[in-house]
Amino acid sequence: MGLLARLDRFVHAARLDVLTPYGRRRRRNLRWLPLVVIAAIAIGYGLQAGAARGGLSWQTGVAGGLVFYAAFLAANVMPLFGPRMSPSDGRMLDEREALLRARAASLSGTAFTILVVTGCFYFAIASTFDAWVPQGPLEWACLGVGLQAYALVLPMLAASWMQPALDEEEAV
């Protein structure tokens, strides 16, 4: 067996062939993974910000950056494996999928709006109480990237919890 055949077998065994045009994606309800990604983004941001201000060691800042950007990468890849929310595989969304997409977008958009508005009010009054506010371009840029990741993950979280659990036949 040649090297290319072994690599092809490895890709199929690891189920990475879903990333190719020939692989068939199996959609899953990602009920807990989006919560892990949301927590990792917040923790990674906190570690980065703490190290940027000198309160934590630079090694902790690097570890926080790795956690933060790994979670951002996971947030970008998650729609490939989560509930079907966009037309793919050459077929349109059916009525149930379209309704699920609309409800998930509405719920996650409302949650995201509440998060951003609360953040705006917090930043407006934080200096009055000597509370933490992002300082410098690194903290503001990472805050924006974190919000973008939240906007990608929240619809997956909502759609995964709105769907019933998969049957054993569908999960395999």
Residue 116 is assigned to a structural domain of this protein: yes
| Contact indicator for 16, 150 with CB cutoff of 8 Å | no
Residue 2 is assigned to a structural domain of this protein: no
Full residue range of the structural domain in which residue 150 is found: 29-82+93-171
pLDDT tens across the length of the chain (172 residues): 788 888 878 877 776 766 666 666 566 667 788 899 999 999 999 999 888 888 888 888 899 999 999 999 999 988 777 776 766 666 787 788 778 888 888 999 999 999 999 999 999 999 889 888 888 888 899 999 999 999 999 988 888 887 776 655 554 4
Token pair of 9, please? 């077998």
Its pTM stands at 0.73
CA pair distance 31, 22, nearest whole angstrom: 27
Q: How many domains does the chain have?
A: 1
